[in-house]
């Protein structure tokens, strides 16, 4: 059987189109998977930053009103004054 040049060209063109569609499809799938993974990673980093910032702020406030600090003495003096005034 003799295959003409026109049919060979169509077969080659069909292979090229299928290859191009496969490449585009794989790029779309890989980008979708990467977006899903890095999107979740972004939210994990964001949550970690919020929790870490909250812990840092809590520690800073706790140290600020620790016993013996100026702030703690002011709070105690104000409480004492308030109790004496409301007797």
The 3-state secondary structure of 1-64 reads CCCCHHHHHHHHHHHHHHHHHHHHHHHHHHHHHHHHHHHHHHHHHHHHHHHHHHHHHHHHHHHH
Write the pLDDT tens digit of every residue in 63-74.
Answer: 887 777 788 888
Write the pLDDT tens digit of every residue in 22-53.
Answer: 999 999 999 999 888 888 888 888 899 999 99
Instruction: Identify the CA nearest to 3 among candidates 12, 15, 18.
Output: 12
Question: How far, CA to CA in Å, does 66 sit from each of 57, 59, 61?
Answer: 14, 10, 9
């Amino acid at each position: 059987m003799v295959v003409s040049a026109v049919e060979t060209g169509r077969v080659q063109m069909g292979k090229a189109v299928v290859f191009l569609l496969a490449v585009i499809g794989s790029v779309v799938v890989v980008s979708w998977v990467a977006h899903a993974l890095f999107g979740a990673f972004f939210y994990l980093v964001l949550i970690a930053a919020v929790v870490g910032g909250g812990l840092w702020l809590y520690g800073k406030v706790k140290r600020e009103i620790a016993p013996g600090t100026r702030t703690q003495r002011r709070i105690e003096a104000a409480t004492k004054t308030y109790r004496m005034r409301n007797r």
